[in-house]
Structure 1
Amino acid sequence: MRKQIVFLSVAIILLFSTQGFCLEHFNKVVGFGDSVSDNGFQDGAGFQPYTNGYVWVEHLANSLPDGPVPVKSEAWGGAMTNQKNWEKIEWSGLLWQIDQYEKEIGQEDISKVLHTIYCGGNDFWGNKKDVAVSAKNIVTAMEKLSKLGARYIVVANQYTAVISPGYLKGAYASYREPLTKFKKSLNDTLKKLVVSNEDSFMKEHPEVTVYYINSDDLFNKIANDEKGYVFSNKTEKWLGTKEFPTPEKYLWWDEWHLMTAAHQLFADFVLQQIKSSNEAH
């Protein structure tokens, strides 16, 4: 009986230490992408925060066990997956961000940094709407990060379950259907390149832990008003209303971007996926 108790105690200790280890060791969060991750220029990158508070990478850094940990967002609003910005700027794209990051870190050990990538939607507005190229650019960014020493990468696909107010009416309403189609096709292609193919990134780079995030697993909950994911107004923007930003009311900050309450839900969802992945191993 005593041996059974000792064995059970050791098993419990090992269980909890194993589950907690991979989360507790992250010493920083570094985000790449577009306006979804842009937190402004105060840390040397980004145009401005496109929300009424923290963006999701900041919420994630604050939510990690033993956090908050430092966070640096390399993201710029309008970034495409290549070197460019959809607003006819020749810099600030995802691959450009990776190049800048390489210059910043030099020989720094980044093996304990949690890197995040959310990018691709702005490619719809580029000269060439080629989802294969866009998905490959994201994988190229991941490959460059791995060569720099990155060992943990969150890559999230595009959410399509909720539609921003800018596409519901007015001049951009006609783009809603083709943009949604583009994003879904990009998601399908990206998953193959990162997860499913025989030569996928995850299979070719076993040294890198990849947390592949299907964003609509979260945004379907929001669209369907599941408990804990309810926003009473999902069709109008908060900016300009002069209303108090009650977290459960407005989903959208402006015509295109989410309120910080939605960013928090996204960060919580990503953290949950990280925990689930660690427990599976």
Structure 2
Amino acid sequence: MRKIIVAIALALVTFMTALTLSAQRFEPIDQLVVFGDSLSDTGTVFRATNGAYPPNPPYFQGRYSNGRVWVEYLADRLSLSTSQIDNHAYGGATSSSYSNGLVPGLLRQVQSFTQTHSSVNSTALYVVWAGANDYLQGVNDATTPVKNVIEAIASLSNAGAKRVLVANLPNLGQLPATRNTANSASLVALTQSHNQGLRRSLKVLGQQQPDLEIAVLDANALYQEAITHPAEFGFTNVTNACVSSSRACDQPQQFLFWDGIHPTTAAHQILGEQAFAAIAEHLPSNAGVLHTKL
């Protein structure tokens, strides 16, 4: 009889624990916490330079584009307000732990965040996208940038983060600023190496930290699809920059690229939609509790 009672008690404990974990996993995303570079910056550098950079106009209110950027469109899809976006991304940031003037690298951004938060919001979605500036600024091996991105994610997880969205890199050798340069071929190879290394490393991290839910935004595939089939995305120009010498083209919504490196807000909106789809697909425990529907 005693064994039966003990068995029942253990079963109840297991059941209640499972219910608690299930309830935690199905809590809706209630905040975006963003780390990265100019692709995700919503005005951090603009405020740090007292509105001097990026210049407005032609850039839009501190964004490196002609309108809002992808994390803002993603927040719309999650029904999150501006106050629910905690953005630490800096234009010009690399993946490193160093600061270049006013600009802290990805690891420094995460370190500053975890040091100032004794506990982090476990129902937030933590966004990590960096690495492009490492290669554009001369890094010629993908090992360290990939390691830095993984270390940033692991640090967030160790601090209590449960949900992470990480993006890979678009083809850095096929940007308007790089396509016809001597570095184009090497940047193509570095992009491929980075994305392959990131994919392998994320798989290992997932095995090491099974409680961490990771969604991947395949920006590389999305850019390539837009370049190959522009009309399907509403674009007529996927090779040139819309803005040149502070003068913008007449129909920026038809351009993939705003300047030599950064996408237009039309492209950012597509990235935001794809990010939302990735969350629904790769964070299945959250798919039923997103604030909006696909």
8 A contact 1:45–1:74 mirrored in 2: no
Pick aligned residue for 1:182 from 190, 199, 212? 190
Deviates more, 1:68-77 or 1:41-50: 41-50
Q: Secondary structure at the match of 1:234?
A: strand
Pick aligned residue for 2:261 from 256, 259, 271? 256
Deviations 1:67-86 (A, max 9, x none): 3462122111111111236x
Q: Distance in 2 between matches of 1:45 and 1:143?
A: 28
Q: Which residue of 1 aligns with 2:36?
A: 33
Q: Distance in 2 between matches of 1:162 and 1:130?
A: 15
8 A contact 1:43–1:73 mirrored in 2: no
Equivalent residue letter for 1:220: Q
Q: CA deviation at 1:40?
A: 1.0
Q: Distance in 1 between matches of 2:235 and 2:132?
A: 23
Equivalent residue letter for 2:80: G
8 A contact 1:26–1:113 mirrored in 2: yes
Q: Distance in 2 between matches of 1:166 and 1:185?
A: 20
Q: Distance in 1 between matches of 2:77 and 2:197?
A: 30
Query: Relative to structure 1, is the Cα distance of residues 230 and 176 closer, same or farther in structure 2, using a 3 angstrom cutoff?
Result: farther
Q: Distance in 2 between matches of 1:43 and 1:150?
A: 28
Equivalent residue letter for 2:271: F
State the identity as a percent.
Answer: 26
Q: Distance in 2 between matches of 1:42 and 1:236?
A: 25
Q: Which residue of 2 aligns with 1:56?
A: 70
Q: CA deviation at 1:94?
A: 0.4
Q: CA deviation at 1:63?
A: 1.1
Q: Which residue of 2 aligns with 1:139?
A: 150
Query: Relative to structure 1, is the Cα distance of residues 28 and 244 closer, same or farther in structure 2, using a 3 angstrom cutoff?
Result: farther
Query: Relative to structure 1, is the Cα distance of residues 241 and 235 closer, same or farther in structure 2, using a 3 angstrom cutoff?
Result: farther
Q: Which residue of 2 aligns with 1:100?
A: 112
Equivalent residue letter for 2:242: W
Aligned pairs (5 A) from 1:142-153: 142-153=153-164
Q: Does 1:155 align with 2:155?
A: no
Query: Relative to structure 1, is the Cα distance of residues 220 and 235 closer, same or farther in structure 2, using a 3 angstrom cutoff?
Result: closer
Query: Relative to structure 1, is the Cα distance of residues 73 and 194 closer, same or farther in structure 2, using a 3 angstrom cutoff?
Result: same
Q: Distance in 1 between matches of 2:97 and 2:256?
A: 30
Q: Does 1:74 align with 2:82?
A: no
Query: Relative to structure 1, is the Cα distance of residues 44 and 177 closer, same or farther in structure 2, using a 3 angstrom cutoff?
Result: same
- Paired residues, number: 249
Q: Secondary structure at the match of 1:174?
A: coil
8 A contact 2:230–2:237 mirrored in 1: no
Q: Distance in 2 between matches of 1:102 and 1:244?
A: 44
Structure 1: stretches of 5+ with no match in the other structure? 1-17
Q: Distance in 1 between matches of 2:45 and 2:137?
A: 28
8 A contact 1:45–1:75 mirrored in 2: no
Query: Relative to structure 1, is the Cα distance of residues 235 and 220 closer, same or farther in structure 2, using a 3 angstrom cutoff?
Result: closer
Deviations 1:1-56 (A, max 9, x none): xxxxxxxxxxxxxxxxx9xx85x711111111111111112897796421111111
Q: CA deviation at 1:214?
A: 2.2
Query: Relative to structure 1, is the Cα distance of residues 242 and 214 closer, same or farther in structure 2, using a 3 angstrom cutoff?
Result: closer
Q: Which residue of 1 aligns with 2:202?
A: 194
Q: Secondary structure at the match of 2:151?
A: helix
Deviations 1:195-231 (A, max 9, x none): 1xxxx10011111100022222312220122654231
Query: Relative to structure 1, is the Cα distance of residues 151 and 52 closer, same or farther in structure 2, using a 3 angstrom cutoff?
Result: same
Q: Secondary structure at the match of 2:233?
A: coil
Q: Distance in 2 between matches of 1:100 and 1:44?
A: 18
Query: Relative to structure 1, is the Cα distance of residues 244 and 121 closer, same or farther in structure 2, using a 3 angstrom cutoff?
Result: same
RMSD: 2.7
TM-score (norm 1): 0.79
Q: CA deviation at 1:164?
A: 1.9
Query: Relative to structure 1, is the Cα distance of residues 192 and 42 closer, same or farther in structure 2, using a 3 angstrom cutoff?
Result: closer
Q: CA deviation at 1:148?
A: 1.1
Structure 2: stretches of 5+ with no match in the other structure? 1-21, 54-61, 288-294
